[in-house]
Amino acid sequence: MVKIRHAWLVRAVHAVFVSKNTSFTCATHCLIIGICLAILQGIFSTWWLHVHKQSPLESLWHKATWVRADK
């Protein structure tokens, strides 16, 4: 399954950047935006986990499930 996804990604990048059409298409813009968002999310996640013990959703889940245990 991983090899299929990898091959699809390689074909998509090849079609977007290596094709003879040199103008940027909507697919190119979407790919660039997706890569930028993934990089930003990785940077933010690394920073968050260095500063905080848990993720925001994890801390909300912990508070919601341990409401009655505190009493």
Task: Using the predicted structure, report yes or no on whether residue 3 has a pLDDT greater than 60.
Answer: no
Helix or strand or coil: residue 54? coil
> What's the pLDDT band for 69 if we cut at 50, 70, 90?
low
- The predicted-structure confidence for 10-66, as pLDDT tens digits, reads as follows 666 666 666 655 566 677 778 888 899 999 999 998 998 899 888 888 988 888 887
> Could you tell me the two tokens for 7?
């091959």
pLDDT at 30: 84
Angle, alpha carbons 28-33-34 (nearest 5°): 95
| Alpha-carbon distances of 2 from 7, 14, 31, rounded to whole Å | 9, 18, 19
